[in-house]
Amino acid sequence: MLLSNYQKDALTELVNIGVGKGSATLNEILTFPVTLHIPEVNVIHHSDLLNHLSFLEDKLLSGVNLNFSGDLTGFSQMIFPKKSAQKLVAMLMGENELPTHFDELHASSLTEVGNIVLNSLMGSLSNFLEKKLRYVVPTYEEGSPEYIFQRQIPKDAILLFCQAHFEVESLNIQGDIIILFTLNSFETLKSEVEKLSEEPLKINL
């Protein structure tokens, strides 16, 4: 299942709206500039997922997972290399030394930030598309890319994979925002893209 150039560009713009809002929220929390890279959008099969995660060079990741359902279904993730997660949590908690491991308090601190950013991201998307979403309580995730992602997805699934890299250069922190939409959601998003081709893009977040 392929995307036309127009569909890919339009979906990238839609995702950019959401991750841009999430990035701005993170900027407000940290009070340091956040540099956001242009999102990548692709239709993939479950078996290709790890190939699309090859940019995650670290084998141990920390992140926050937010599942959503309703008019669109899937999950969003805010993922950090372990070192970046340690730096972020140490700053948030006012600790002078990096935590060698995450206890419940450290995980809760990162989850709170991820929850705020991901809710801002998905909320801006749902508002723009005028779609209703339901969220479950976000969860802290730690482990390899295979552990964090593959166990949540049926083996025969076809997904819309969206990824945007961000950096907080002043703090030497980097991470990625990833959204995976199910096939049904992909069809809904394609329908919205067709509407965008018929009228000017109006962003009102």
Q: With beta carbons less than 8 A apart as the criterion, state whether 102 and 110 touch.
A: yes
DSSP state of 172: T
In a domain, 191, yes or no: yes
Q: Quick one: tokens of 129?
A: 């598309």
In a domain, 203, yes or no: no
Give mean pLDDT, residues 119-124: 90
pTM: 0.86
What domain count does the chain have? 1
In a domain, 77, yes or no: yes
Q: With beta carbons less than 8 A apart as the criterion, state whether 106 and 114 touch.
A: no
In a domain, 91, yes or no: yes
* Poorest-pLDDT segment among 71-85, 107-121, 137-151: 137-151
Tell me which residue range forms the domain holding 127. Answer: 5-196
pLDDT at position 44 is: 86
pLDDT tens digits, one per residue of 145-179: 888 877 777 776 788 889 999 999 988 999 999 99
Please tell me the distance from the alpha carbon of residue 158 to that of residue 174, in angstroms, as a whole number. Answer: 28
The CATH number that applies at residue 90 is 3.40.1550.10
pLDDT greater than 50 at residue 205: no
3-state class of 73 per DSSP?
A: coil
User: Which single residue is written with the structure tokens 């993730």?
Assistant: 77
Report the range out of 69-78, 89-98, 141-150 with the highest average pLDDT. Answer: 69-78
In a domain, 18, yes or no: yes
Please tell me the distance from the alpha carbon of residue 64 to that of residue 148, in angstroms, as a whole number. Answer: 10
